[in-house]
Amino acid sequence: MSWPKFRAFFIVDPLICLATVVMGTVSLAASFFDRTGRKQMAVARAWARILCRLAGVQLKIVGLEHIDPKANYIIAANHLSYMDTPVVLGHLPVDFRFMAKKGLFKIPFLGTHLASAGHLPVVNDNPRDGIRALNEAAKVIAARHTSVLIFPEGGRAATGHLQEFRDGAFFLAIKSGAPVLPVCLIGTYEMLPFGSGFMKPGPITMRIGAPIETAGRHIKERTALSQQVRDEIARLTQVGH
């Protein structure tokens, strides 16, 4: 094994942990002085770029012309690996927030940090509360003109293949009126497969599709919208193959 590969497998992980602790502390401190969430997100983006650099990500981005800097989106991305979040966070030129489990907002310091950064709570264990949380999130997205990143598969793909999508993201898109921005990630599974504790440097492609409008759609169309977005991400996966 050559030195670069040896370094990638055995030295990068501690460096990433150190970077995460340092940048997390900076972000937490920033949360007490900035209630807009912009400084926290700037720190998070810097952390994501550091992580990608340490991991040896060789990134190619296709489709930036589809992004309108004045628009807000529900960003729907496939989910292959823990590397998906830092790749999108560090390199997608959209100011977005995350949907996080509601219980995290109750944890001291962390909850304050999440709320002040503008992240939105989601409820998974109670359908009625889940719908209520999505309705509230839709109001926030519309009022603040905020973009939100969601992985509609609900979790990482253990096999590396695209899974079925859940409807929650598309309920949110229709209720908020925000267009859906399809994002396809290729190569993150090979870099850090499901269940692996080691990262392998390599090429990653992020393909951005044309936004799919939701204005005028009825909430009953969320399943059809879900399938439309999944089909587009599946198509983006095959482009160039």
pLDDT tens-digit series, residues 68-79: 999 999 999 999
Rounded mean pLDDT, 26-33: 67
Least confident of 102-116, 147-161, 218-232: 102-116
Percent of the chain topping pLDDT 90: 46
Instruction: Evaluate if residue 30 carries a pLDDT over 80.
Output: no
Give backbone dihedrals phi and psi of 126, rounded to 5 degrees, phi first: -140, 110
Are 85 and 183 in contact, with CB atoms under 8 Å apart? no
pLDDT tens column, 46-68: 888 998 998 899 999 999 999 99
Are 220 and 203 in contact, with CB atoms under 8 Å apart? no
Domains of the chain, start order: 58-238 (3.40.1130.10)
pLDDT tens column, 77-89: 999 998 999 999 9
Give pairs for 137-145: CB < 8 Å, separation 24+: 137/99, 137/172, 137/176, 138/172, 138/175, 138/176, 139/176, 141/72, 141/74, 141/172, 141/176, 141/178, 142/176, 142/177, 142/178, 144/118, 145/72
Q: Is 65 exposed, middle or buried (0-12, 13-18, 19+ CB in 10 A)?
A: exposed
Rounded mean pLDDT, 218-234: 96
Instruction: Evaluate if residue 17 carries a pLDDT over 90.
Output: no
Helix axes 38-55, 84-91, angle to 10 degrees: 120
Q: Which helix (H) or strand (E) holds 61?
A: strand 57-62
pLDDT tens column, 159-211: 888 999 998 889 999 999 999 999 999 999 999 888 777 778 899 999 999 99
Q: pTM, whole model, 2 decimals?
A: 0.84
Are 207 and 62 in contact, with CB atoms under 8 Å apart? yes
Are 194 and 156 in contact, with CB atoms under 8 Å apart? yes
Percent of the chain topping pLDDT 70: 79
Q: HSE (CB half, 13 Å, CA atoms) of 96?
A: 26
Per-range mean pLDDT, top range of 135-139, 152-156, 205-209 = 205-209
Among 208, 189, 229, 170, CA closest to 79? 189
- Average pLDDT along the chain: 84
